Amino acid sequence: MKETIAMLLAGGQGSRLYALTQTIAKPAVPYGGKYRIIDFPLSNCINSGIDTVGVLTQYQPLELNAYIGDGRPWDLDRLEGGVHVLSPYQKIEGSDWYRGTANAIYQNFGFIEKYNPEYVLILSGDHIYKMNYSKMVDLLKKTDASVVISVLEVPKEEASRFGIMNTDKDDVIIDFEEKPEFPKSNLASMGIYLFRWDVLNKYLEDDNNNPNSSNDFGKDVIPALLNTGKKLVAYRFEGYWKDVGTIDSLWEANMDLINPNVPFDIWADDWRIYCRNPGRPPQYVSNDAVIQNSIATAGSSIDGNVDFSVIFDGVEIHKNATVRDSIIMPGSIVEEGAEVHYSIIAEDVVIKKGAKVGERPENMDDIENWGVSVVAAGLTIGEGAFVRPKAMVYDSVGEGEEC
Amino acid sequence: MKETIAMLLAGGQGSRLYALTQTIAKPAVPYGGKYRIIDFPLSNCINSGIDTVGVLTQYQPLELNAYIGDGRPWDLDRLEGGVHVLSPYQKIEGSDWYRGTANAIYQNFGFIEKYNPEYVLILSGDHIYKMNYSKMVDLLKKTDASVVISVLEVPKEEASRFGIMNTDKDDVIIDFEEKPEFPKSNLASMGIYLFRWDVLNKYLEDDNNNPNSSNDFGKDVIPALLNTGKKLVAYRFEGYWKDVGTIDSLWEANMDLINPNVPFDIWADDWRIYCRNPGRPPQYVSNDAVIQNSIATAGSSIDGNVDFSVIFDGVEIHKNATVRDSIIMPGSIVEEGAEVHYSIIAEDVVIKKGAKVGERPENMDDIENWGVSVVAAGLTIGEGAFVRPKAMVYDSVGEGEEC
Amino acid sequence: MLTNKAMGLIFANMHSSSVGNMTAQRTMASLPFAGRYRLVDFCLSSFVRGGLREVGVIVKENYHSLMNHLGSGKEWDLSRKIAGLMVYPPFIGSLSGTVYHGKIAALYNVLPYIKESGSKHVVLADCDHVSNFNTAELVNNHIDNGADVTILCYEQQNKDEGGLNATSVLRDENGRVIDIDFNRPPKENYLVSMNIMVINRELLIELVEDAYSHRMIVLERDILQHHIKDLFINTVVYDGFVRRINSVQSYFTSSMSLLEPDNRKCLFDPLKPIYTKVNDDAPARYGIGCNVKNSLVADGCIIEGEIENCLLFRGAKVRSGSVLKNCIIMQDTVIEEGASLSYVIADKEVKIGKDRSLMGYESYPLYIQKGSVV
Amino acid sequence: MLTNKAMGLIFANMHSSSVGNMTAQRTMASLPFAGRYRLVDFCLSSFVRGGLREVGVIVKENYHSLMNHLGSGKEWDLSRKIAGLMVYPPFIGSLSGTVYHGKIAALYNVLPYIKESGSKHVVLADCDHVSNFNTAELVNNHIDNGADVTILCYEQQNKDEGGLNATSVLRDENGRVIDIDFNRPPKENYLVSMNIMVINRELLIELVEDAYSHRMIVLERDILQHHIKDLFINTVVYDGFVRRINSVQSYFTSSMSLLEPDNRKCLFDPLKPIYTKVNDDAPARYGIGCNVKNSLVADGCIIEGEIENCLLFRGAKVRSGSVLKNCIIMQDTVIEEGASLSYVIADKEVKIGKDRSLMGYESYPLYIQKGSVV
């Protein structure tokens, strides 16, 4: 009934985001002033004409569930199809949490079968990018491939951090190496796979029956396909793509929105990114504020100094406060005279008067101790307290304390 | 934000429905020609003015999930509130399937807290009845009780099959006995509890910390409330109420719709039962058909003889076939000359020409071997085959075979 | 973003006058049909299944019931965030101040919307044909052939069914329309138009602006016939079940033709569902002593009497001792005990009293207006 | 089934003429306000939060933009299966054939719907007041006092704000209205009506039928004033932020009053959210060298120039080198480099060219119509 349906792997805890994913799944982490990470793959789907998406999750899905809701913000509330959150469940033969990415898909074959698609697109919920998936479908049809894998050219010196695809001159994949020490090419897998449904069906069944498999697409399923001579074709993606799996990369991806030299434009009308709108009145900038080189969103109120920063909805920056090179997530307050530098402040944090979070690298003697500071959701940083650079704050910090 | 929210326990496998709940949860079992069991509590909620419902499930939720969808059939697609399916999930401290009814609610405190209700209504997904829950809320307010429990007068001789409430003259509950040998009253608990949220919060927290508890409302939580002197009041329900947890009771509850002497009217306009509509054209009754004392629904087509039966959508009863005292669920076909008596035929079954399922008690010599026959979903009963009374058929039956 | 191939435009009031009192309080589009549908459902469902995400319904008068039926468009999956269903009432104040006449003026009235659309093509449809046509096939054929206009039509099945208001076309050997004929029984070798066509959006805008400024009225006559040489007017032939409603009598025979299993199978193909507003009726109940033969029965009906060759809409009640033959009984109409009806079309919420006897003829079924008490 | 306490009815076109060209292509109800809202949002949101599940919007003319804004009603949770949002265009053909004048005729036009409703009371509202009133409180007060009619009003804050079209009421010591005054500045001790009132549904039907048959036109004058002795007309006094839009100038000052934090806090209480159509704009972007003081900025704006005491709607663009003081810039309007604006209201999609200079006065802000290129 549906030509292509998408399965979005949103199950990961995102443990390398530490304090930011204590109570929410990684795809629900706020990004870019008003979005959450999952808005990008979901918007890409609807913009690519894919109106059926299964979101696979098992870690803290409550907020993600509520956020996705009926799917309307992405025009994914459909009579047939639409977006559905798929959690693990019990069957008569027993029950199981998802083991690995391939197993998560395997456990939800029932969902896929309902739509009887030609193609299944496997996506992950931790990348920021704009991509027209229908081009992968076109390529698969044109090359008669079993699977199309999206790849990106990365600098040679970074290639060993990725899964690397070696291809022939027609972009047919010859072999695949996970984080090779000596990469043979610079084509990195983006973790986006377009399968023929019958192929996916067969190989995941085999994978599930293989007791030695770790049930992972990259480690097990792709090699198995290559070993049995299936035709896998690389789709060369060009454009902005960022894995936001670490604190540093999440910080950078936010800053990329401000940087006029980074070709990533969320203001363009031709490929909108949709999100669940917080429904707040316009932001207010007072007579005492100085705001530049920043983005801010509805419901925020700015009385202080904001520079090179990303301000989410409902954030208050009070008089004489300074926020630079930082990300302030929804509902957080930076009180009078407080300073925030190179930091990610999660939701509903209060930074009390005169407190200081983070430090500028130019002020550091020991630069190797410098890094982005993170304050977890709901905490209070007491009056005059200091949060060190690179700190990962899980608990509130008392008045005048250092952490 | 919401005065009362409902939590619907739909987690059970419903193992005493055997073949009918192999691949679906009990609340998703079809009933009454076009409904599923869960339509009754959901319709009761919206008709009682409760627009926020959590459905707790962990067994085979795919069909139930798809059936509930965005909740629109019950007018439960809301910006704030609405109906939400809640599955078990993983937290940073680990993860757990639901243990007992009380634990299922406890694991979903996060959902309840979001709405910060005054009262929480605990419902179960295996009863057929029409009830205005707002009367329980009124009673709770009037009596200043901690919990109101819905009770029904049952015949004395059946009382020992139920949880029995003993009350004083003001209907305050004095004690509670689960299936007592010598019942002190005939007030049976209907498994419908209205709690003050603060009381529920405290007692489920305590229950969760008690290693000896089986985490069940009836066995653990209600006795604990009584032991600590909380005021529990019985709400006396009058009207039709049926637990459909067994094959016999499910069969009876369907037949009750046909019986003019049973005061249960789903045709009345003042308390509509809503369901997800299969969207089929009207049913067709041919020149060769004889249909009486039956109910049938859109998309069915009747060429044979139907008497005292419940026919679901898409069912075909072919020429010269006979269906009596039976329930034929969606999409099943009874071919020419086949006979079905005192049976429940699940979805998409084909009963081939001349086959016979079930028997009439008046034709039995050994009446103790008589009972309702059940054929599981998707099976084929071969030409001329015979399915014995009381049989529970899990596998297709070949041509001419007996089972 | 993907631009949609086509948008849909439905003319709700066209041909309303052909069925007399049946449209006294409703549009042609909201005429009840087949036990639980309205005529507009067939068109809307086909549009939606064919991938159209932007559908406008142009109404002129009597549109209470239609707006009520359509609601937010959710039942057709057209309650969309992006595009979706739009009802266009006549916009008084913005244009000349009077209500338009003819399809050209109606189109002119909604030109701002047509201009805003990102679609390449427009599917125009009246609501006077009942069928389960394939919109995707129609649009793709239009595109693949590079046509300017593509008319959906069918071969005349029965000479008697033509007549009033029929538009028919003659094709050359390449499938190109070389003649269009109006308002009379189709000639030999002519195909009957289903009053459904695809046209390039920008061409439509140009033609309508031009025709409106020349005070032209009828799209088919004043535009298509006029431009028959310089436009490539293409045809797609539909060969499934199709019925044209152009009189009370044809409404009756079209309805009764659904008692044929093959016709039902074609119109109600489960793979091509017809969506409609949900009414939440309980199942139909067949009482003790009822007698039902060769009839279509919708949910919510309660039948205690005798019916033969009948079509019962949702919630119709036939009390014991009453006898109905060759009747169409619409929603919530009640036939009291002992009544006897033959060749009657009873509209919604009619009450036929005890022991009443009403008789029409096959060639002239008796129509009883909505809410009447007989 | 629970019967709803009250249904809502909104008059979309009332007072449109008071704001001149601002409503040339829209209703009063769809007048943009506060950076991302339309006037109707305040009323609709209050209705919905107050538990109303059935809301009708009565439109007369120029309702393209309003229908587009409301869509299926989903944003206000009024895309309901049961009841929900209904837009009532003037129903030509069903009644006298001409478009109605006055509120009584408008109500008469929709009487069939009012009669069908299961609600006990009707809340009537014009869209000329901006506030965040409490519908539940209003309706409960009406019920608890056993009133026939309850008018929501406020104490006159400023003599200057009265004037054109104001309706005011005098109460006795029991809160009962003993005089109603029209179309002039409210007298001493009179309360100003917010043009929002509750009335018993059956009484409303009776009064409207009676008044219509006597060719009466104005609800307040011809019905309420007329029946002031035999009806119990009750009042509820609203003491939060409220502004009346009865001129371009009052539109300007009302908008600018939102630069006061206390006013914003009252109108945009997070516990009483104002719902509106979602536009999916990206965050606002503050460029290098921009200078923003005492301004409200909606999402999607790009600010490179200098703004002070301004209100920027969604997607407004202020290029570098331009200077805006005391301006209201509506959706998608672009101010090119070097332009200089003071006391200007620029409607949607206006383009102010490079180095242009435009100046209005506090007492007479300069209004630039939608789509203009300056």
Residues of chain C that touch chain A, judged by Cβ-Cβ distance less than 8 Å: 1-2, 77, 79-82, 275
Residue D78's φ and ψ, nearest 5 degrees, are -110, 15
Asked if residue D215 has pLDDT above 90, the reply is no
Chain C nearest-CA distance from B32, in A, is 8
Q: Is residue C167 part of a domain?
A: yes
Residues of D in contact with C79 (CB under 8 A): 72, 74, 79
Using the Cβ of D163 and the Cβ atoms of chain C, whether some distance falls under 8 Å is answered with no
Residues D216 and D303 in one domain: no
Would you call B59 and A89 a contact, using CB atoms and an 8 Å cutoff? yes
Q: Is residue C277 part of a domain?
A: no
Percent helix / strand / coil, chain B, rounded to 5: 25, 30, 45
pLDDT, one tens digit per residue, over D10-28 is 999 888 888 889 998 899 9
Q: Is residue C319 part of a domain?
A: yes
Angle between helices C201-213 and C102-109 in degrees, nearest 10? 120
The string of DSSP codes covering C150-214 is: EEEEEE---GGG--TT-EEEEE-TTSBEEEEEESSPPPTTPEEEEEEEEEEHHHHHHHHHHHHHT
Asked if residue C361 has pLDDT above 90, the reply is yes
ipTM computed for the complex: 0.86
pLDDT, one tens digit per residue, over C65-107 is 898 899 889 999 998 888 889 888 876 544 444 556 788 888 9
Would you call A298 and D36 a contact, using CB atoms and an 8 Å cutoff? yes
CATH number of residue C340's parent domain: 2.160.10.10
Residue-wise over A104-124: b if at least 16 C-beta within 10 A, else e? bbbbbeebbebbebebbbbbb
Residue-wise over C226-253: b if at least 16 C-beta within 10 A, else e? bbbeebebbbbebeebbbbbbbbbbbbb
Residues of D in contact with A292 (CB under 8 A): 286-290
Of all residues in chain D, the percent with pLDDT exceeding 90 is 68
Of B202-211, C1-10, D41-50, the least confident: C1-10
Q: Which two tokens stand for residue C222?
A: 């004043």
CA distance A200 to A147: 9
Radius of gyration of chain D (CA): 21
Using the Cβ of B262 and the Cβ atoms of chain C, whether some distance falls under 8 Å is answered with no
Residues of C in contact with B286 (CB under 8 A): 293-294
Of C92-96, C215-219, D342-346, the least confident: C92-96
Please report which helix (H) or strand (E) contains residue B123, including its range.
strand B119-124
Using the Cβ of D60 and the Cβ atoms of chain C, whether some distance falls under 8 Å is answered with yes
Minimum Cα–Cα distance from C317: chain B residue: B267
Chain D nearest-CA distance from A294, in A, is 5
Residue D192's φ and ψ, nearest 5 degrees, are -90, 130
Nearest CA to C328 out of C356, C289, C304, C301 is that of: C301
Residues D245 and D178 in one domain: yes
Q: Is residue D276 part of a domain?
A: no
Residues C189 and C69 in one domain: yes
CA distance B304 to B338: 10
Using the Cβ of A279 and the Cβ atoms of chain D, whether some distance falls under 8 Å is answered with yes
**Which member of A284, A293, A298 has the closest CB to residue D286?**
A293
Q: Hey, how many other C-beta atoms are within 10 angstroms of the C-beta on A205?
A: 12
Residues C100 and C156 in one domain: yes
Would you call B281 and C264 a contact, using CB atoms and an 8 Å cutoff? yes
Segments in A116-160 forming alpha helices (H): 134-143
Minimum Cα–Cα distance from B93: chain A residue: A22
pLDDT, one tens digit per residue, over D75-92 is 999 988 888 898 888 765
User: How large is the average pLDDT for residues C214-236?
Assistant: 89
Residues D64 and D203 in one domain: yes
Residue B398's φ and ψ, nearest 5 degrees, are -75, 170
Residues C134 and C214 in one domain: yes
User: How large is the average pLDDT for residues B179-201?
Assistant: 93
CA distance B134 to B194: 10
Cβ atoms of A265 and A249 within 8 Å: the answer is no
pLDDT, one tens digit per residue, over C29-75 is 999 999 999 999 999 999 999 989 999 999 888 888 898 899 889 99
Count of CA atoms in the C-beta half-sphere (13 A) of D198: 29
Residues D208 and D355 in one domain: no
Residue D249's φ and ψ, nearest 5 degrees, are -65, -45
CATH number of residue D51's parent domain: 3.90.550.10
Q: Is residue D46 part of a domain?
A: yes
CA distance A88 to A69: 18
One-letter amino acid at D15 equals H
SS3 A210: coil
Q: Which two tokens stand for residue D142?
A: 């009406």
Top pLDDT among B282 and C82 is at B282
Residues of chain C that touch chain B, judged by Cβ-Cβ distance less than 8 Å: 34-36, 74, 259, 261, 264, 267-268, 270, 273-276, 278, 280, 282-290, 292-300, 302, 311-312
How big is chain A, counted in residues?
403
**Which member of B72, B274, B297 has the closest CB to residue C283?**
B297
Q: Which two tokens stand for residue C28?
A: 């042609």
Using the Cβ of B298 and the Cβ atoms of chain C, whether some distance falls under 8 Å is answered with yes
Residues D263 and D311 in one domain: no
Residues forming beta bridges with residue B333, ordered by sequence position: B316, B350
SS3 D113: helix
Residues C219 and C311 in one domain: no
Q: Is residue C292 part of a domain?
A: yes
Would you call B267 and C300 a contact, using CB atoms and an 8 Å cutoff? yes
Q: B: neighbours with 3+ CB pairs under 8 Å?
A: A, C, D
Residue B91 banded pLDDT, cuts 50, 70, 90: low
User: How large is the average pLDDT for residues B239-260?
Assistant: 94
**Sheet with strand A350-351: strands edge to edge:** A380-381, A350-351, A333-334, A316-317, A301-302, A283-285, D295-297, D311-312, D328-329, D344-346, D366-368
Tokens 């007041």 correspond to D129
Strands B386-387 and A283-285: unpaired
Residue C17: per-residue pLDDT: 84
Would you call C64 and D94 a contact, using CB atoms and an 8 Å cutoff? yes
Would you call A298 and D264 a contact, using CB atoms and an 8 Å cutoff? no
Chain B nearest-CA distance from D249, in A, is 36
Q: Structural domain tally of chain C?
A: 2
Asked if residue D2 has pLDDT above 80, the reply is no
Nearest CA to A208 out of A220, A194, A222 is that of: A220
**Which member of A267, A273, A282 has the closest CB to residue D297?**
A282
Residues C79 and C173 in one domain: yes
Would you call A274 and D280 a contact, using CB atoms and an 8 Å cutoff? yes
Chain D nearest-CA distance from C91, in A, is 7
Which one of C267, C300, C328 terminates a domain?
C267
Which 8-state DSSP code applies to residue C234? E
Residue C14 banded pLDDT, cuts 50, 70, 90: confident
pLDDT, one tens digit per residue, over A207-264 is 999 999 999 999 999 999 999 999 999 999 999 999 998 999 999 999 999 998 998 9
Q: Dmax of chain B from CA atoms?
A: 68
What is the domain range of residue D346? 285-368
Residues of C in contact with B287 (CB under 8 A): 293-294
Asked if residue A323 has pLDDT above 70, the reply is yes
Segments in chain D forming alpha helices (H): 39-49, 64-70, 102-109, 111-116, 135-144, 201-213, 248-256, 261-267
Burial of A388 per CB tally in 10 Å (0-12, 13-18, 19+): middle
Phi-psi category of residue C326: left, alpha or beta, with phi > 0 → left and psi -120 to 50 → alpha = left
Size of interface A-C (CB pairs under 8 A): 19
Chain D nearest-CA distance from A367, in A, is 28
Residues C234 and C122 in one domain: yes
Nearest CA to D235 out of D131, D141, D136, D129 is that of: D141
User: How large is the average pLDDT for residues A355-362?
Assistant: 96
Segments in B78-213 forming alpha helices (H): 100-106, 109-115, 134-143, 197-209
Residues D96 and D182 in one domain: yes
Top pLDDT among B23 and D228 is at D228
Would you call C74 and D72 a contact, using CB atoms and an 8 Å cutoff? yes
Of A1-10, B144-153, C335-344, the least confident: A1-10
pLDDT, one tens digit per residue, over B101-159 is 999 999 999 999 999 999 999 999 889 999 999 999 999 999 999 999 999 999 988 88
Burial of B226 per CB tally in 10 Å (0-12, 13-18, 19+): middle
Which one of C232, C267, C302 terminates a domain?
C267
| Cα of A120 vs its chain's centroid, Å | 20
Q: Which of A79, A131, A134 is the best mutation test for C, with the most CBs of C within 10 A?
A: A79
Q: Which of D52, D72, D81 is the best mutation test for B, with the most CBs of B within 10 A?
A: D81
CA distance A128 to C371: 60
Nearest CA to A321 out of A293, A300, A296, A340 is that of: A340
Minimum Cα–Cα distance from B112: chain A residue: A62
CA distance B284 to B296: 10
SS3 B31: strand
Using the Cβ of B73 and the Cβ atoms of chain D, whether some distance falls under 8 Å is answered with yes
**Which member of D34, D284, D295 has the closest CB to residue A281?**
D34
CA distance D143 to A215: 65
Q: Dmax of chain D from CA atoms?
A: 67
Residue A226: per-residue pLDDT: 95
Q: Is residue D278 part of a domain?
A: no
pLDDT, one tens digit per residue, over C151-185 is 999 988 765 554 556 889 999 988 899 999 887 78
Would you call D94 and C61 a contact, using CB atoms and an 8 Å cutoff? yes
Q: Is residue D279 part of a domain?
A: no
Of all residues in chain A, the percent with pLDDT exceeding 70 is 98
Q: State the Cα angle at D322 between D316 and D326, rounded to 5°.
A: 70
Residue B12: per-residue pLDDT: 67
Asked if residue A18 has pLDDT above 60, the reply is yes
**Sheet with strand D284-286: strands edge to edge:** A392-393, A373-375, A343-345, A327-328, A310-311, A294-296, D284-286, D302-303, D317-318, D334-335, D351-352
Which one of D240, D267, D294 terminates a domain?
D267
Q: Which two tokens stand for residue C164?
A: 């009033």
Using the Cβ of D83 and the Cβ atoms of chain C, whether some distance falls under 8 Å is answered with no
Asked if residue A183 has pLDDT above 80, the reply is yes
CA distance D356 to D374: 8
Q: Which two tokens stand for residue D118?
A: 């299961």
